[in-house]
């Protein structure tokens, strides 16, 4: 845990949030500034500042993010229309909270390239 990190504070409960998914290693919340009709954040409880901090020992955790993304996408009805799973790595790529997190975006046609 990082005492200054927004997502660590949400994980530990010192900042209240409505979690739509929780496990021992991950949680998911709706984004407070949605960029699509469905915009969910999947956040590991362990603090990793960015993808650059992921190591071989984190492979199981990273794989579970895909499983949870699929579960949440099905629950939200995105399996028919599709969804995008995004992770930003570094400020230049759009990362604004430096605790690794994945965005599930869907519910409308998404354009390419995204940014």
Catalytic residue at 103? no
Q: Which of 48, 99, 101, 103 is catalytic?
A: 101
As a residue count, the chain comes to 115
H helices of the chain, in order, are 6-12, 59-75, 78-81
| Whether 102 contacts 42, CB under 8 Å | yes
Residue 110: other Cβ atoms inside 10 A: 15
Alpha-carbon radius of gyration of the chain: 14
Active site residues: 101
């Amino acid at each position: 845990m990082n005492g200054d990190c927004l997502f660590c504070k949400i994980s530990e409960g010192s900042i209240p949030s409505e979690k739509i998914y929780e496990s021992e290693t991950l949680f998911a919340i709706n984004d407070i500034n949605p960029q699509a009709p469905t915009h969910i954040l999947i956040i590991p409880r362990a603090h990793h500042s960015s993808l650059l901090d992921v190591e071989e020992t984190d492979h199981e955790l990273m794989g579970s993010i895909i499983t949870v993304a699929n579960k949440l996408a099905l629950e939200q009805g995105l399996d028919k229309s599709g969804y995008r799973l995004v992770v930003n790595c570094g400020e230049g790529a759009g990362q604004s909270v430096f605790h690794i997190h994945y965005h599930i975006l869907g519910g409308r046609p998404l354009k390419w390239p995204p940014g």
